Structure 1
Amino acid sequence: MKSVTVIGASLAGLHAARALRAQGYDGRLTVVGAEPHRPYDRPPLSKEFLTAPAGADGAEDPSAANRLDLTDAEEVAELDADWLLGTGATALDPRHRTLSLTTGRTLTTDGIVLATGAAPRRLPGPAPAGSHVLRTLDDARALRADLSRGGQAQVVVIGGGFIGAEVAASCAALGHHVTVVEAAPLPLVPQLGHAMAELCARLHGDHGVALRTGTGVRGLRSAGADDRVTAVELVDGRLLPADVVVTGIGVRPTTAWLEGSGLPLDDGVRCDAGCVTPISTIVAAGDVAHVAGARAEHWTSATEQAATAVHNLLAGRTVRTHRALPYFWSDQYGVRIQFAGHRAPGDVPRIVEGTPDDRSFLARYERDGRTTAVLALNRARPFLRLRRELARAAEPARTG
């Protein structure tokens, strides 16, 4: 294999490039990224980046974006890659091993790592001024500019998942009036179960954020010459006044450009347990990868899958599988929520340290007398210990 192309200058894409060099690949390496930025860290976009103080002139402090960078000049030189930034992929021809790019250029390559990530789901209909999604650095800049227009704003966050909750917490910290709208009876029930989701939902009320659950959104109202958002209309007819709206209702894997390629597409690029597609010279990692029947949208999965995918790409077949323990975290209202494990609907949570009233506790999920998952609010050290215990039973299997 003399040339490898990584499609996606993402977290997974960067870790794939690092893994290629770390595993001894010394051929031509190309990284194609639709955004004009080198790989950056996305989790702070909904937290530290939104709340970072502005510069002396009121403009964005350049250091806020610089702190997101995942590479430096030394690493860029060591990777020795051809970075095609601000360039998207439009088509893939596996038979001829060619990629078509938005610039009109065509690349021929021996191996491909798909790391194109996902794009945020949007509400149907037009998006008036003042309505936002949050996925990219440019999304965060646009939202931050709207939140800095002056005075207290009425902010409505549609979706109470991790992104929505983090944005709500940041907006509340900035002094805005915030309402979170969640279609489910409680946010995070699929991830945490009803009992623990209820405890986490209390964080909103603790900080003056209104939580409206069990209702969906019919659409956005707007007015004025600039067609700016004025309200969110709920399905029950209620109107929530809004100066700024942030929609956080999930993502879709970025696979439209792969239609017609022959690769199996079903909620992502379908891969085996080693992140390998039916074409052994094409692997996938991160939010776009549907690995062995599941797709994980978390920071840790993106980094771990990349190393497995590259190992198998260089081997020419699946010799290593990815079986890491699911893990995610979220920072909301000064509370770090951490979860690890495989929770099933019937698993029973039991608090073993701390108390919910203090918003600091450790809980085990149990099934038939054994621990299946662990949840912590501001209990990082004991959580790490239990996470390691669970991980020992789910270490990646290696057969070569």
Structure 2
Amino acid sequence: MRGGGGGPLGMEIASACLAAGCAVTLVSEGRPLIAHLGRYLAGVLVKAALERGLAIVETGAARLERNAGCARVVLNGGGVIEAEVVVSAVGDVPNTGVAGSRVLTSRRPGTWRRSRRRTGRGTARCGAARSSRRRWPRPLSCAGTRHLPLRFEPYFWTEQFGLGLKAVGRLPVDGAPAFVEGGPGGPALMRFSHDDGSGVAVALNHRGPIPRLRRVGRAAT
């Protein structure tokens, strides 16, 4: 099996295929996961992947072709990798073109509209956004947080090659972490610091609630 894409999805698919007994080659534009996680965290996951038998081919732009009923990947330098099965997991820009120039409006709590048109009784959607009035009635007011200021923090998680990673804060991160608990290789609870003073808390094979990760990320180094 050949996989195209060195992001989290491509790596997770490669991990699952390896676990199922497939021989897997991952074709990646540069080192996998660095653009998403940063050099340190990407290194931890890539090391685990290589130890489990993943073959990684780093290249520039690549393209897919069909050849005698089989798929193949043509690399930037002209090399070719053939396989019976090719999985493409490239790109992380959402397909928002389905909405066109129409605007989503919400006239009633818990409903989404596309130019006042519905796609089903009691349900409206636009692209991947979908909700039901019966299942989502006034979520914030029901939680009693209508007048509280919202503070959104990015949250990321992935499970691959025997490792589970959860992160709260802005990714990617630079440099080495400060270990709050554990050490390199995990289980570990880590904190990275950005130049602006903000932090990112990362749990590697470390069980714990998300609110604690938020507190670790906000704590001063």
- Give the TM-score of the pair, scaled to structure 2: 0.71
Partner of 2:2: 156
Distance 1:163 1:344 in 2: 16
1:183 to 21, 29, 39: 29
- Counterpart of 1:243, as a letter, is E
Asked if 1 retains the 8 angstrom alpha-carbon contact of 2:3 and 2:24, the reply is yes
Q: Tell me, yes or no, if the aligned pair for 2:48 and 2:162 is still in contact at 8 Å.
A: no
Counterpart-to-counterpart distance in 1, 2:2 and 2:29: 14
Residue number in structure 1 paired with 2:57: 212
Q: C-alpha displacement at 1:374, in angstroms? A: 1.4
Give, in angstroms, the shift of residue 372 of structure 1. Answer: 0.9
Alpha-carbon distance, 1:156 to partner? 0.7
Task: Sort the Cα spacing of 1:210 and 1:159 in 2 relative to 1 into closer, same or farther, 3 A.
Answer: same
- Residues 166 and 331 of structure 1 are in contact (CA less than 8 Å); yes or no, is this contact kept in structure 2? yes
1:338 and 2:183 are equivalent in the alignment: no
Find out whether 1:235 has 2:61 as its counterpart: no
| One-letter code aligned to 2:60 | T
Written as runs of structure 1 = structure 2, the 5 A alignment for 1:23-34 is none
List aligned pairs for 1:248-259, cutoff 5 A.
248-259=89-100
Report the Cα offset of residue 222 of structure 1: 2.3
Gaps of 5+ in 1: 1-154, 264-276, 290-301, 313-317, 394-400
* CA–CA separation in structure 2 for the residues paired with 1:353 and 1:391: 14
**CA shift digits 1:195-225 (9 cap, x unpaired):** 22122211210101111224331322421xx
Question: Which residue of 187, 190, 196 maps to 1:360?
Answer: 187
Q: Distance in 1 between matches of 2:44 and 2:91?
A: 22
Structure-to-structure mapping, 1:103-252, within 5 angstroms: 155-184=1-30, 186-223=31-68, 227-229=69-71, 231-252=72-93
Q: Deviations over 1:64-85 (max 9, x none)?
A: xxxxxxxxxxxxxxxxxxxxxx
CA displacement, residues 17-44 of structure 1 (integer Å, 9 cap, x when unaligned): xxxxxxxxxxxxxxxxxxxxxxxxxxxx
Letter in 2 for 1:363: M
Q: Residues of 2 paired with 1:283 and 1:387: CA distance?
A: 32
Report the secondary structure of 1:353's partner residue.
Answer: strand
Paired letter, 2:43: E
* Structure 1 CA distance for aligned equivalents of residues 195 and 137 of structure 2: 32
1:367, CA displacement in angstroms?
A: 3.8
* Aligned pairs (5 A) from 1:8-87: none
Cα distance, 1:165–1:389 mapped onto 2, change above 3 Å: same
1:54-111: CA deviation from partner (whole Å, max 9, x where unpaired): xxxxxxxxxxxxxxxxxxxxxxxxxxxxxxxxxxxxxxxxxxxxxxxxxxxxxxxxxx
Q: 1:237 to 1:359 in 2, by over 3 A?
A: farther
| Distance in 2 (alpha carbons) for counterparts of 1:222 and 1:159 | 21
Cα distance between partner residues in 2 of 1:339 and 1:377: 9
Instruction: Render the CA deviation track for 1:104-161: whole Å, top value 9, x for unaligned.
Output: xxxxxxxxxxxxxxxxxxxxxxxxxxxxxxxxxxxxxxxxxxxxxxxxxxx1110121
Distance 1:170 1:338 in 2: 18
Q: 1:340 to 1:246 in 2, by over 3 A?
A: same
1:325 maps onto 2:130 in alignment: no
AA at the equivalent of 1:248: A
Distance 2:152 2:158 in 1: 19
Deviation at 1:232, TM superposition (A): 1.6
Give the aligned residue type for 2:34. Answer: V
Separation (CA, whole Å) in 2 of partners of 1:182 and 1:218 = 12
Q: 1:371 to 1:232 in 2, by over 3 A?
A: same
Deviation per residue, 1:143-183 (Å, 9 max, x gap): xxxxxxxxxxxx11101212111111111111111011111
Amino acid of the structure 2 residue aligned with 1:387: L
* Contact kept in structure 2, 1:308 and 1:322, CA below 8 Å: no
- Greater helix content: 1
> How many Å separate the matches in 2 of 1:213 and 1:384?
34
Unaligned runs of 5+ residues in structure 2 are 114-124
Check if 1:373 corresponds to 2:214: no
